Amino acid sequence: MRRGRFLLLIALLLVLSAAGIFLAFQFSQGGLFGQQQPTNAPQNGQDATAVPVTATPEQFLQIIAAGQTLERGVVIPTEAIIAVPWPTSIVPPSAITDPAQVVGTRARFTIARGEPIFSTMIVESLLQLSPAGSDAAARIPPGFVAISIPYNRNNGVAYGVKDGDHVNVIVSWAIVDIDQSFQTLLPNLSTVLSPPNPDATLPIAPSTVAVVNSGGAHVPTIVGRGEAGVNTSEDFYVIPSETQRPRLVTQGIIQDALVLRVGEFGPQEPEVIYPTDTPNPEITQAPPTAVPPTPVPDLITLVVSPQDALLLNYINRIVEKYPAAVVVTLALRSAGDTSQVDTESVTLQYMFERFNIALPAKLNYGVGP
């Protein structure tokens, strides 16, 4: 009897434990006393219909543009401008949105129809267009001057220099020895005078006239020097076997020079036009004519300081007098680089010492010239 009660008590405990586990599971899932919410159900009363995600539309800003072609220097009237949409993400700081900032100003240069008008494209008066001079002069910073030098493919970065670039100027000099009094290339020439004492420095009285014997055995010859013979008792008079060899030296002389123009400037810019009627954009334009090939430039104009202009002018005169004595080379600078670097003159001695070039030994064999 007691054994049956004990088994009944155990069974009752098992039933209560199972019921407790079931209730705990239901509460954790939101059931029994609450409704279970799906993980992707809308919250706070939102519509259960899925809403696709769309990209934000591009925003546009109305900027001022030319409603017709505006010639250089013309006064811009109200009817000549229009507003065009421009993406706000790429609107430049010089863009204009207020028509009042454009009307009444002048076109700094010809603006094509439909082209946006930026603040850098208009001026307030003709004085800013340099009507009495050239536009090139208006592009030279105060305190500087422009000067032209020869330009070619070999010394001009293979024609890679363009207007507005910055360059360094390198000069190579061929240096020779000259007679300080005669200012002529050494060695001097010698000759024989007859009589041999024209300036009366010798005891023998000279004749009235000294004649230079230029014929026969008295042809002028190069002045040499006396040297003692080797393995012989005879002395020799040595003269050069060739003309003097120039000694080359290269150095940079100007850094960060502005290139104003590559080639010739050509004719002066067209005069300011004052149209009486609004141009009709519907008028058929004449077909374009064939453009002649661009001539190869042989001049380049640099903007430098007044002192550097004197330096370049001196080099120009040397090149005219002795074309092979001086060579000017241009080195193109990186855009925006304004650094100044101290350089050393380059000579043959510098090359051998700087790069540890060994002097070749004299052998009984070698390569041809």
Domain membership of residue 255 (yes or no) is: yes
Domain membership of residue 280 (yes or no) is: no
- Do 164 and 332 form a contact (C-beta atoms < 8 A)? no
Domain membership of residue 251 (yes or no) is: yes
Could you tell me if 213 and 193 lie in one domain?
yes
- Distance CA(236)–CA(38), nearest Å, equals 118
Could you tell me if 86 and 121 lie in one domain?
yes
Q: Which helix (H) or strand (E) holds 350?
A: helix 348-354
pLDDT digits (tens, 9 = 90+) for 340-369: 999 999 999 999 999 999 998 989 998 887
pLDDT the model gives residue 23:
65
Percent of all residues in the chain with a pLDDT value above 90, rounded to a whole number: 34
Please name every residue paired with 149 in a beta bridge, in sequence order, or none if there are none: 300
**Sole residue written with tokens 């543009």:** 65
pLDDT the model gives residue 274:
45
pLDDT the model gives residue 208:
46
- Distance CA(15)–CA(114), nearest Å, equals 89
Please name every residue paired with 239 in a beta bridge, in sequence order, or none if there are none: none
pLDDT top residue among 17 and 45:
17
CB atoms < 10 A from the CB of 5, how many?
9
Could you tell me if 250 and 172 lie in one domain?
yes
The mean pLDDT of 267-293, rounded to a whole number, is: 57
Tokens encoding 123:
């001026």
* pLDDT higher than threshold 80 for residue 178: yes
Least confident interval from 60-69, 105-114, 206-215, 335-344: 206-215
Q: How far is CA 340 from the centre of its chain?
A: 15
- Distance CA(2)–CA(114), nearest Å, equals 109
pLDDT the model gives residue 76:
92
Q: Which helix (H) or strand (E) holds 212?
A: strand 211-213
Could you tell me if 318 and 201 lie in one domain?
no
Please provide the average confidence, as pLDDT, over all residues in the chain. 78
pLDDT the model gives residue 34:
46
CB atoms < 10 A from the CB of 310, how many?
13
CB atoms < 10 A from the CB of 318, how many?
15
Q: How far is CA 316 from the centre of its chain?
A: 23
Extended beta strands in 73-195, E state: 81-87, 106-107, 122-123, 145-150, 166-175, 189-190, 192-194
* pLDDT higher than threshold 90 for residue 251: yes
Could you tell me if 120 and 96 lie in one domain?
yes
Instruction: Report how many domains make up the chain.
Output: 3
Please name every residue paired with 300 in a beta bridge, in sequence order, or none if there are none: 149, 262
Tokens encoding 369:
């010239």
pLDDT the model gives residue 248:
94
The mean pLDDT of 76-82, rounded to a whole number, is: 92
Domain membership of residue 87 (yes or no) is: yes
Per-residue DSSP letter, 18: H
Could you tell me if 195 and 103 lie in one domain?
no
Could you tell me if 94 and 207 lie in one domain?
no
The mean pLDDT of 65-70, rounded to a whole number, is: 91
Give the domain range for residue 231.
189-238
Could you tell me if 232 and 195 lie in one domain?
yes
pLDDT the model gives residue 30:
52
The mean pLDDT of 47-51, rounded to a whole number, is: 55
- Distance CA(147)–CA(77), nearest Å, equals 39
The mean pLDDT of 119-125, rounded to a whole number, is: 82
- Do 239 and 222 form a contact (C-beta atoms < 8 A)? yes
Could you tell me if 318 and 347 lie in one domain?
yes
* pLDDT higher than threshold 90 for residue 249: yes
pLDDT the model gives residue 273:
47
Of 109, 129, 149, the residue that ends a domain is: 129
Domain membership of residue 9 (yes or no) is: no
Amino acid at 318: I
pLDDT the model gives residue 206:
45
Percent of all residues in the chain with a pLDDT value above 70, rounded to a whole number: 63
pLDDT top residue among 241 and 64:
64
Query: Terminal CA-to-CA distance of the chain, rounded, Å?
Result: 133
Could you tell me if 117 and 139 lie in one domain?
no
Q: Which CATH number characterizes residue 91's domain?
A: 3.90.1210.10
**Sole residue written with tokens 């100044």:** 340
pLDDT digits (tens, 9 = 90+) for 203-242: 554 444 444 444 455 566 667 666 666 666 667 777 788 8
Domain membership of residue 47 (yes or no) is: no
Nearest to 166 by CA among 337, 309, 342, 340: 337
Q: Taking the model in full, what pTM does it have?
A: 0.56
pLDDT the model gives residue 22:
67
pLDDT the model gives residue 275:
47
pLDDT top residue among 188 and 127:
188
* pLDDT higher than threshold 80 for residue 54: no
Nearest to 296 by CA among 171, 156, 166, 169: 156
CB atoms < 10 A from the CB of 56, how many?
5
Could you tell me if 194 and 313 lie in one domain?
no
Domain membership of residue 35 (yes or no) is: no
pLDDT-based confidence at 158, cuts 50/70/90? very high
pLDDT the model gives residue 227:
66
The mean pLDDT of 39-46, rounded to a whole number, is: 51
Domain membership of residue 288 (yes or no) is: no
Least confident interval from 180-184, 284-288, 296-300: 284-288
Could you tell me if 119 and 156 lie in one domain?
no
The mean pLDDT of 87-92, rounded to a whole number, is: 82
